[in-house]
């Protein structure tokens, strides 16, 4: 189990079944390759969608108020 900083909450994971659902053959996919895939997916998510999704979900769906400057 990965260690997280106090107050960090994991948001997703990836498994071989995910690859299989997308049509990939995972017969020879080892744990090292899965770790690299997970790392690259985390990078892509954080760089592309994370901040937009965080703001939309927090504000529009959960009604978390923004700070008043």
User: pLDDT tens for residues 41-64?
Assistant: 888 887 778 888 888 889 998 989
Given a cut of 70, is residue 1 above it in pLDDT?
A: no
Q: What backbone phi and psi angles, to 5 degrees, belong to 50? A: -55, -55
Euclidean distance between CA atoms 59 and 27, whole angstroms: 42
User: CB-hemisphere CA count at 13 Å for 8?
Assistant: 7
pLDDT, averaged across the chain: 86
Residue 29: its pLDDT value, please? 94
Average of per-residue pLDDT across 9-14: 84
Q: How confident is the model at residue 2 (pLDDT cuts 50, 70, 90)?
A: low
Given a cut of 60, is residue 66 above it in pLDDT?
A: yes
- By residue count, the chain amounts to 69
């Amino acid at each position: 189990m990965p260690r997280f900083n106090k107050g960090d909450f994991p948001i997703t994971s990836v498994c071989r079944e995910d690859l299989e659902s997308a049509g990939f053959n995972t017969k020879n996919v080892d744990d090292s390759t899965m770790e690299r895939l997970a790392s690259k997916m985390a990078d892509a998510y954080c760089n592309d969608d994370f901040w937009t999704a965080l703001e939309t979900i927090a504000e529009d769906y959960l009604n978390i108020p923004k700070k008043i400057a």
